[in-house]
Structure 1
């Protein structure tokens, strides 16, 4: 699929989601350990970094790309008002820019997953387009660079099967569930384990337990 039309739609959707939050909801812990909803919003403003932005990140280098991005997201979230975070995501929605070193699919994956990091702990229903989720799940499972999240290794030996569209990946005991839940499991969000069934789901529950 060409991810750009869906990227544009998802940026508008997450901007609308954030615009509807109460003040207290911005401080709620997200599905990302150690990240608040506001931190995740800050992360979603970092999808179109240029060379100047990367220079600033290097000055705040934390020993690796992931902790450096987390630091940048938190600094931006602290410095910007919620209104500015929302406006930035909305204003950049139609642009076809992405961070250096990633493909548009990683940009889409970030939007699909991080929007759920915000919505799920707040008890907000934020539908994920199944076809986009299927493309994102396959990309996450097969990517080599940038490196996939560590949780992808836990999918080895499990057959993942979507129940809401024709999609399957892998071999072994089967874990069945909605494609949105499968994408979140692939990216390490164990909160959706109750949505999965089958012997593969039991295996994943063991692997993903603290």
Structure 2
């Protein structure tokens, strides 16, 4: 998917998440998300931080503090930012929805699948529906499949062919597992809720 279309979807998803969050009660902000170990609040903070991420020097300091562990770094930044009032996080998402600023160590392809997946991390456990554009989900799934670290999707799905039922997309070889491209993207990024929506041998 071309870059400008990707940024349009990113902005739309940020605004959709903001609208969803604005209607939550405070207890709902504290609910576990699909992202293991993260509450809805932390996921929201992570999304809000993406277009206003610290610069390279600050990120280097934070990386040292996290012992060089990427997941720990992401988690620590989100936890600290999540201490802000809920209304402030919603306002930040809306204010920066159209921003194309990138964190120092990533690119728009990663930001695309990141917002798609994290939007579902929030919506699914709350029983809400946030539509995921099929073309964007396909681009995100392709990116995750080909990138290796940190998801190692090809290794985890060795011997499986994943085929989308709602678009022309498939990867891998072996026993065929099928489902919506949205569910495949969630499964590729380690979400059991996505895996549960796939059908096939031994499923």
Q: What is the TM-score normalised by the length of structure 2? A: 0.91
| Aligned mates of 1:85, 1:60 — CA distance in 2 | 24
| Aligned mates of 2:153, 2:11 — CA distance in 1 | 27
1:165 to 146, 164, 167: 167
Report the CA distance shift for 1:85/1:152 in structure 2 as closer, same or farther (over 3 A): farther
Query: 1:39-87 CA distances to partner (integer Å, 9 max, x unpaired)?
Result: 1111112213223642562464344121011011011102x01111111
| Aligned mates of 2:146, 2:26 — CA distance in 1 | 39
Query: 1:14-62 CA distances to partner (integer Å, 9 max, x unpaired)?
Result: 1111112111100001111211100111111221322364256246434
**What residue in structure 2 maps to residue 73 of structure 1?**
78
SS in 2 for 1:195: coil
| Aligned mates of 1:194, 1:7 — CA distance in 2 | 26
**What residue in structure 2 maps to residue 106 of structure 1?**
110
Unaligned runs of 5+ in 1: 206-210
Q: Is structure 2 residue 20 aligned with structure 1 residue 22?
A: no
1:176 CA displacement: 0.3
SS in 1 for 2:50: coil
Larger CA deviation: 86-95 vs 45-54: 45-54
How many residue pairs align between the two structures? 198
**What residue in structure 2 maps to residue 177 of structure 1?**
179
- Give the alignment of 1:11-160 within 5 angstroms: 11-48=14-51, 49=53, 50-51=55-56, 53-54=58-59, 57-58=62-63, 60-78=65-83, 80-144=84-148, 147-160=149-162
Unaligned runs of 5+ in 2: none
Q: Is structure 2 residue 13 aligned with structure 1 residue 5?
A: no
Query: Would the aligned equivalents of 2:145 and 2:153 in 1 still touch at CA under 8 Å?
Result: no
1:4 CA displacement: 1.1
Question: What is the alpha-carbon root mean square deviation over aligned residues?
Answer: 1.7
